[in-house]
Each structure stands twice: as structure tokens, then as C-alpha cells.
Structure 1
Amino acid sequence: MAHIEHAEIYLVALKPKVMRVDAIQQFVCQETVIVRLHDADGAIGTGYSYTIGTGGSSIVALLADHLLPRLIGREAEEIEAIWRDLKFHTHATTVGAITSLALAAIDTALWDIRALKSRLPLYLLAGGARSSIPAYTTEGGWLHLSQTELVEDAERARAAGFHGVKIKIGKSSVKEDVCRVAAVREALGDGLDLMTDCNQAFAVDEAIRRAQALSSFDLAWMEEPLPADDLEGHIRLSASTSIPVAVGESIYSTRHFRDYLQQRACSVVQVDCARIGGITPWLKTAHLAECFNIAVAPHFLMELHVSLACAAPNGRWVEYIPQLDEITTTRLRIEKGKAFAPEEPGLGIGWDWDAIRGRSEIMHAVRKAA
């Protein structure tokens, strides 16, 4: 084993390749927080986290002022102890997005070191259930697009071999949502899965109404139909529709996932590695869902989630939304609609450090313990 000697923090703003609009917001920028950990053996692990436009500097401040100083001198292999200790150190700000996102950047870097020193790819180190997983695309299903544009993108996705297509819903009228879903379903035929994403836009009565209106289109799921903290509403909705209800991208605690699963409030778990606090709680959540015979289809972060979804036996999908291309030298491998986990030791993400340093809005070095 070897202790952590020093750390670096970078904040890089990445603009989406396409305009991204959903029922409640526009995704204007991915603030990418990157942490590099150096251990006494010379190993370097890289972890990262993100926001969709606000809060990045707050994550950096939490890392630089409170978390990373406590990490210096710790044994890098003590991943579980480190995660628990750092979470307790910030217990007054948990459960919460900023704390989880900061913990995730550290935790993924520690897993990277472990995998690199073990000479294993992450998907094998974390479980090795499979080496590839079906991919679905969200990148052409945004709410501002016309019905014609949605259909054209769905046809391109089918031609590219994707196994599924997700589109945003939440137009002002039920009829408009129904017409858009119907057009995409007709374009896809019965051979591809069709997902819908509401982005927490509805009250319970409206979510039930829209689910009923969409029930004939054989949807793979209805994602985030209600605010993520409305457990009772999800229970009511799940009991009222045959459409699988998907939740998770806005849930920041394994215990909250436990509540959803115990109460039969969802049928698909979309746990996000950054928002749950890292690989350590992500794996716990995936295995918890496995105990309830519930599939995992992680939200966003395809470059990392492909390995985790392949590691877990109940991993079912990886979501295609490219975002790291400008600061990486590697790309997600997709063949015949399946995404393949990287075989290189570590996370399998090739970081372009010249690009990262050149684009960083904030850089910090942390060397001394608190």
C-alpha cells in the first residue's frame, strides 16, 4: 500500500455539442471537476464530477478547503474508510448535491489508483458481470426539437445500431406529448426500445394522466416524472401504470434508494456515480437494486458508467451523451448498438492533460494535511 502525497484540482467548463432543453431547464455547460491523486509509489489516479452549469466552484472549494487536506497521508487502498470518514466530516452538509459531487471526484480517483495498481480494468475489478452492454441515445430527443427533427434523429439512431432512443416529454398539452411519442415509435418500429424523460416536471395527477395517455406505445420507462423527493407520489404513480417508472439521477443517498425500492416506487434505478458520491456507493446501490430484481440504467457519464454497468449483474443500459471529447484522447467504443467497457487498467479514460490545463478556470494543488 502507499499513502496519498498530494492532489490537484481542475475545473473545466464544457459546452454541449448540441442544444439541450428539457421540461424544466436548459443544459448550458458541464462544469467538470477533476481530481488527480498522487501516491507514494508514483501512481496517479484521476476522478471527476460535474454540474450542468452552476456550483462547480463550490465543489472545488469543498475539496480544497475541507476534503483533500484530510486525505493527504491516508493509505489509498482504504477506500471504504476514506469515503466514510470524509462523509462524516461533512455530515452537516449531507445528504446534498455539492457534498456528493465532491466525494465522487475523490472516490473515483481512489478506484482509479486501485485498478491501475491491480492492473485491472474497472469493470473487472468492480465485478465483471459482462464486457459490453446495450446503449441508448438521448442526444437527439430534446424537448425544443420539432416532431420532424425527433423522427429524423430516431431514424439515425436506428441506422447507427442503437438499441434504444430516449425523448423528452413535458409539453404544455398531453396531446402534443402523445403526438411526438407516437411519431418516434412509428419511426422506430417495434425492434427498438423507446424511453421518455419528464425531468421532474409533473405533479402526481398530471403524471398519472400522461402515463395513461402514453400507455399504448410500449415505453421502456417513464423517467423522473415527479420531484425526486416525492416518494409517496412515485408510489401512487407506479401503482397506477404499467409503464416502468425510472428514478435516480437526482437521488443522493443509498438510503433514499432503499426507500424507493422497499415501497415499490420505481422499476428502473438510474443511479449516477457523481451524484451518489462515487463508485463506492454506486456499487452498493446497484447491488441493493439487484436484491429487489430491479435493473440499473445509470444516468449520464457514459465514459465511466459503461464500466460500472458492465460490472453489475443487473446493469441493463448505458446512456449515450458524449461530453468529454474535448478533454480526452479516448472515445466510448460502440459496436452494433453495444457499448464496450475499456480493457485498459484503471477507469479507462484517456485524459488530455494539455487540454485540461489549458481550459481550466480553476486549478489548486493540495499538499499538506489539515
Structure 2
Amino acid sequence: MRIISVEAEAFMVPLPRYFHGSNYKYTHKKGMFVRAKTDQGIDGFAYLGDDFGLGQSIASAVNEDFSKVLIGRDPSDVKNIWYDMRPLVRDILGDRRVALHAQALADILCWDLHAKAQGCSVVDLLGQQRDHAPIMVIAGYYTPQNSLGDLANETRDLITLGGRGMKLKVGGLSVTEDVERVKTVRDAGGDTFNLAVDANQAWSLDEALHFVNACEGLGLAWVEEPVHWDNDIADLAALRKMTDIPICAGQSEVTVAGVASLIDAKAIDICNLHPGYAGGVTPWLESAELARQNGLKVANTGEPQLSASLMLACGHGMSIEIYHPDRDPIFPKHCPAFDARTDGYIEDTCRTGWGIVPSDV
């Protein structure tokens, strides 16, 4: 099978309300969709979110540069294709985020075609380790009122929608106020509700230590990216020595070598390298294996169209992280095989590829 055409496009869908994290705000769901045709009549599909507002540039890079590496190639040669694309990310004066996302789209597309050529899903291609995984909803964004009552209601609503846990946004208020938010979600969700927090690098080491100390006994599954990026590896390692709450990071790394540095520094318990930021699923799988060899867990951050498969193929994976449909209307529309939820879990019902279905955005 050979790829005969590749076409990428950016999309932007307005959200019904804004979503405010510790130091950022989302008003639209932005992303890039890529499609490929092959000489055997098998089509491939992939998409990624666009956190940086670079979708048009990323789509152009796929169409003008990365497609030249793909066309004529057998997509089952996915790892060699990934390495052949690598020179395109090394323009020292270019925006590395654009190149890495473009490489990621091309890589994810090849994995989709590789699985479809075998007549199987990506889960089966990689080797299924479990038939279902718990749902963790990324939620608890800040609102103008920041009402604890509203947060409690949101928690209960997520359970009704099929969520088994929440990754709560923190870092946007004082540490004391954020601790109260954690307590509110714990009370509303109950003792068995999976609860993690994500600070998006909002705190100093002292603030992060204050937070984890105040949250001891609240049953946090992990605290994600708790410290500023300036000195994050050293600060994460220091924080990890001072708390029993698992530390999750890796999202802001763009290479497997960066993940290795976190592991070597004993800075993390859970690795969450982002496939879009790091150039694709191929390096994500390498980082996941590195984590396994070192006794660590892996998590995803968003991109449920990928993690719904990857977490089922990783025995050391955590939850499948998704968003409320108001925050991400694309996943339920394009991934119906994984949108079915049973008692707080997503099951493997995908038949071929990633299970991504093309339609008008």
C-alpha cells in the first residue's frame, strides 16, 4: 500500500462559553484535520488540537513539506517515515511548535493507515492490554464567580455524564482558595471519585509545597505540572521528595530525551508527554516504554482521539482524559466508537485505525 495524497486543513469551532485555566483561556476549539488516500482505496484520518493558534501554519507545513515525505511511501514503515521527516523540524529559525505538530499529524496518520491495512484497530496493532479504562474529565475551569456550589454541581453533573473522575484546574487563585476547590470536588464526588489536579506550571516551589501539604489526606491521584517552567526539573524533583502525592509532568517536553531527563532526576511518578507537542505517537510510545522500564505510570493530556487507544494498549496507563462536550465538541462527533461510556469507563469498540470518522467540522 502506498500513500498517493495528503491534505490538511485547520478548523476553529466557537465554544458556548469560555474555559479559564490557571493562566490561559479557551474560547474556541481549534485544531487541524489531515486526510490521506492510498493506492488500495484505504483512506486515513487524523486530527490534533491547536493550543497555540498556529493551525493554518501547521496545515500548510503538512501540505507543502511533510506530504512530500509521505507520498509514495508504505505507511506501515511508520518509524522510518518518522525519522525521514525529522530534518523538517530542525530549522533553528522556524517555529518548532509548527514543525512538531505537522510531524505529529503525519505520524498519527501513518499509524491509522498502518492499522487499517492490517484490518485492525490501533489498539490491536499495538497490543491490547485492557478492554476498558476509567474516564477522567478535564474540568473545574474557573468562572467569574468561582462559586464552590457551582463546582460541586459540576462534579455531580460529570458523574451523570459518565465520568469516573476529574482533573481539576488549579493555580488560578490563591493556594488556599484552590485547596477549598479540591475539598469541594472531593465532597461532591465522594471517596471513590478519581481526583487529580493540574496547575499548568502556575506555582513556585514554595506555593506547590504549600498546596500538596494542605491536600494530604484528600486522596489526590496526582498533581500535574505544579511548578513554573523556569527550573521545573529540579523543582519537581525537590517537591517529589517532600510529598506522597504522585507528581505528573512531561507535557511540556518535546522529546523523549526531555522525558528521560525527568526520569533520571527522579522528578516524576507519571509521565504525560503530549503526542502533538513532541512530534507524534511514535515518540510517545518510546517515552511510555521508558516510563514502564523505570516503574512509572503514563497519562495523556487531552487528545482523547489518541488516548482512547493508547491507554488501552498500555498496562501502566492511567485514565482516558476527555473534556465536557462544551469544551471539546470534536471528539464525540469524530470518534463515535469511543464516545460510548459504561459505568465510568471507555471500552474498546473501535474496529479499524484510530476510529476517527471524517465529517464536516
Alignment match, 1:123 = 123
Q: For residues 95 and 214 of structure 1, what CA distance do their matches in structure 2 show?
A: 39
1:327-346 equivalence runs, <5 A: 328=334, 330=336, 332-346=339-353
Alignment match, 2:107 = 107
Alignment match, 1:363 = none
Q: For residues 56 and 227 of structure 1, what CA distance do their matches in structure 2 show?
A: 26
**CA shift digits 1:140-179 (9 cap, x unpaired):** x112242111111112233445321221112442221122
Indicate whether 1:82 and 2:78 are aligned: no
**CA shift digits 1:267-293 (9 cap, x unpaired):** 112222222222211111111111112
Secondary structure of 2:171 counterpart: coil
Alignment match, 1:240 = 242
Q: For residues 335 and 234 of structure 1, what CA distance do their matches in structure 2 show?
A: 36
Alignment match, 1:167 = 168
1:347-358 equivalence runs, <5 A: 347-352=354-359, 355-356=360-361
**Cα contact 1:226–1:233 (8 A) shared by 2:** yes
Q: For residues 257 and 21 of structure 1, what CA distance do their matches in structure 2 show?
A: 28
Q: For residues 341 and 165 of structure 2, what CA distance do their matches in structure 1 show?
A: 13
What is the CA distance between 1:190 and its match in structure 2?
1.2
Q: For residues 42 and 267 of structure 1, what CA distance do their matches in structure 2 show?
A: 44
Runs of 4+ in 1 over 6 A off after TM superposition: none
Q: For residues 197 and 74 of structure 2, what CA distance do their matches in structure 1 show?
A: 44
Secondary structure of 2:124 counterpart: helix
**Judging changes above 3 Å, is the alpha-carbon distance between structure 1 residues 128 and 137 closer, same or farther for their aligned structure 2 residues?**
same
Greater mean alpha carbon deviation, residues 319-328 or residues 303-312: 319-328
**Judging changes above 3 Å, is the alpha-carbon distance between structure 1 residues 318 and 3 closer, same or farther for their aligned structure 2 residues?**
same
**CA shift digits 1:292-324 (9 cap, x unpaired):** 121112110112211111011111211121421
What is the CA distance between 1:325 and its match in structure 2?
4.9
Alignment match, 1:359 = none
Secondary structure of 2:62 counterpart: helix
Q: For residues 297 and 17 of structure 2, what CA distance do their matches in structure 1 show?
A: 29
**Judging changes above 3 Å, is the alpha-carbon distance between structure 1 residues 227 and 86 closer, same or farther for their aligned structure 2 residues?**
farther
Q: For residues 329 and 320 of structure 1, what CA distance do their matches in structure 2 show?
A: 12
**Cα contact 1:270–1:298 (8 A) shared by 2:** yes
1:133-144 equivalence runs, <5 A: 133-139=133-139, 141-144=140-143
Letter aligned with residue 258 of structure 1: A
TM-score (norm 2): 0.91
Secondary structure of 1:20 counterpart: strand
Secondary structure of 2:31 counterpart: strand
**Cα contact 1:100–1:276 (8 A) shared by 2:** yes
**CA shift digits 1:229-278 (9 cap, x unpaired):** 62111111111111111113222111111111121111112222222222
What is the CA distance between 1:74 and its match in structure 2?
2.2
**Cα contact 1:294–1:314 (8 A) shared by 2:** yes
Q: For residues 62 and 214 of structure 2, what CA distance do their matches in structure 1 show?
A: 46
Letter aligned with residue 343 of structure 1: C
Secondary structure of 2:8 counterpart: strand
Greater mean alpha carbon deviation, residues 88-97 or residues 167-176: 88-97
**Cα contact 1:169–1:198 (8 A) shared by 2:** yes
**Cα contact 2:6–2:63 (8 A) shared by 1:** no
1:267-306 equivalence runs, <5 A: 267-306=269-308
Structure 1 vs Structure 2: percent identity of aligned residues? 26
Greater mean alpha carbon deviation, residues 20-29 or residues 9-18: 9-18
| Consecutive unaligned residues in structure 1, runs of 5 or more | 357-370
TM-score (norm 1): 0.89
What is the CA distance between 1:350 and its match in structure 2?
1.7
Q: For residues 36 and 154 of structure 2, what CA distance do their matches in structure 1 show?
A: 40
Greater mean alpha carbon deviation, residues 11-20 or residues 77-86: 11-20
Alignment match, 2:255 = 253
Q: For residues 192 and 311 of structure 1, what CA distance do their matches in structure 2 show?
A: 24
1:23-34 equivalence runs, <5 A: 23-34=22-33
What is the CA distance between 1:12 and its match in structure 2?
1.1
Alignment match, 2:149 = 148
**Judging changes above 3 Å, is the alpha-carbon distance between structure 1 residues 65 and 264 closer, same or farther for their aligned structure 2 residues?**
same
1:300-339 equivalence runs, <5 A: 300-321=302-323, 322=325, 323=328, 324-325=330-331, 328=334, 330=336, 332-339=339-346
**Cα contact 1:290–1:313 (8 A) shared by 2:** no
